Structure 1
């Protein structure tokens, strides 16, 4: 196996980027980025601890759940989850994060790279109140790079094409996978029922 180890070697395999791919990078949010965020219900957050421990975590809510505080800052509410805190623990030692925002049915994505911090500011938390419930905290990201990513990956994958969707019953349920992986005493059906109940009661 031939392994690439230097940038020079890498550039013998790949061409130089197109000029527009470099020029499209912005340092803040323009009107198109703001409009995208207003329609966005889902973001993937990439982080890496100072030790090198990496993580990518999803966040999702109703469209517009990510707020642009200004042209250089976005805020993402954190709702109840599994409390592993992989992303947040990484941020505490290395605040650099990479965000990819998705809008269903749209093949282009919005990318924001920058520095993150975790806030429990009361006024900021209040902006994300939902049915009387506040987020546990809010991730504030100070943008350093903002740009739209082209559609090639989504075109190749057919991600939004219903004809590519699998029949969910053809794959084990979450409960069945948990049963196999952790050897829980509950049956797979019981795990699934308990999960559905927790989803119903603790989504917010």
Structure 2
């Protein structure tokens, strides 16, 4: 496959798609970010790739300047793959989502990890501050059309499965790792989530 062959297959980008990329957070972007409660962070160490979900109440990502965002890092499993990647290769890509809104907001840029206490305390929840905050300087910002969420039925409850279609987290961890787990019951998983959200 070659770039030329791909263009033969797909044709040129529409004028609107080609012109929609901006490099600053305008009022539309700021409004989108005020309502976004979920994002996916893509990172690379220069060789391998990772994606990591981030979520909090709407508006958890702050627009610091017309070009920069601040993103708190909440407790997780401490693998910190994305953070390690950023140290090696600071280019990142972000995909922001608002429940019920089909369109997404994409941001490509460069990230820095900060542990400044005053900065981290700005994102305190339930008396706990994040250990670090990402500062992302945007290079490209653009909206992405809603066709994929529409095709998937992502925001349509009547398209959701009636019951959980996969094993519980701890069942899968046990089977993948052969480590002992305290319980494989979904109620235990939900309890652990609530105890460790912040």
What is the TM-score when the length of structure 2 is the normalising length? Answer: 0.94
Conserved in 1, the CA contact under 8 Å of 2:90 and 2:111? yes
- Residues in 1 aligned to 2:182 and 2:117: alpha-carbon distance in whole angstroms: 42
- Determine whether 1:100 maps to 2:95: yes
- Residues in 1 aligned to 2:197 and 2:84: alpha-carbon distance in whole angstroms: 22
Conserved in 2, the CA contact under 8 Å of 1:37 and 1:64? yes
> 1:27 is matched with which residue?
23
> 1:41 is matched with which residue?
37
Q: Partner of 1:135: helix, strand, or coil? A: coil
Per-residue deviation, residues 149-189 of structure 1 (Å, max 9, x unmatched)? 11111111111011111133442211222222222334653
Of the structure 1 ranges 10-19 and 58-67, higher mean CA displacement relative to structure 2 is found in 10-19
Q: CA deviation at 1:191?
A: 8.3
Conserved in 2, the CA contact under 8 Å of 1:77 and 1:137? yes
What is the TM-score when the length of structure 1 is the normalising length? Answer: 0.91
Q: Partner of 1:33: helix, strand, or coil? A: helix
Conserved in 2, the CA contact under 8 Å of 1:175 and 1:192? no
Q: Which of 13, 19, 24 is 1:17 aligned to?
A: 13
Conserved in 2, the CA contact under 8 Å of 1:173 and 1:192? no
Which runs of 5 or more structure 2 residues have no equivalent in the other structure?
none
> 2:121 is matched with which residue?
126
Quote the RMSD (CA, aligned, Å). Answer: 1.6
The count of residues paired between Structure 1 and Structure 2 equals 198
- Determine whether 1:185 maps to 2:180: yes
Q: Partner of 1:44: helix, strand, or coil? A: strand
Which runs of 5 or more structure 1 residues have no equivalent in the other structure?
none
Conserved in 2, the CA contact under 8 Å of 1:91 and 1:117? yes
Conserved in 2, the CA contact under 8 Å of 1:78 and 1:135? yes
- Residues in 1 aligned to 2:176 and 2:125: alpha-carbon distance in whole angstroms: 35
Per-residue deviation, residues 106-146 of structure 1 (Å, max 9, x unmatched)? 00000110000101122211210112110110011000001
- Determine whether 1:162 maps to 2:148: no
